Amino acid sequence: MSEDRGYSAAAVALGFILGGVLGGCLAVLFAPESGRRTRERLRDLASDVRDKTLDVSEDLRDKAEEAVERGRELFEEKKSILTAAVQAGKEAVQRERERLSSR
């Protein structure tokens, strides 16, 4: 469904991460604990979110690199096929010219 509306996987992942961070912060802020303990939990939560964000960004970067490499390979493959077809067409035209000129 997200692809139907033009959202990228990165945007969806970022939305989930930000939603989780916001929900976690609100839960910690409204919990009946001391200020010191709340700050510690916020620090821990921020650290966890940072680690998860780094993991997600690394995964997305790896997938993007794989997609680019696959695109390059596909481009080179199609380029060689097209080059061979153009060359065959040129040769066919040359043979036909020679055939017609020999008449």
pLDDT given for residue 35 in this prediction: 74
3-state secondary structure of 30: coil
Q: How many whole angstroms separate alpha carbon 20 and alpha carbon 53?
A: 11
pLDDT at 91 over 80: yes
pLDDT at 39 over 90: no
Percent of the chain scoring above 90 in pLDDT: 38
- Over residues 62-89, mean pLDDT: 94
Report field, pTM of the whole predicted structure over 0.85: no
- Residue at token pair 């067409």: 89
- Over residues 87-97, mean pLDDT: 93
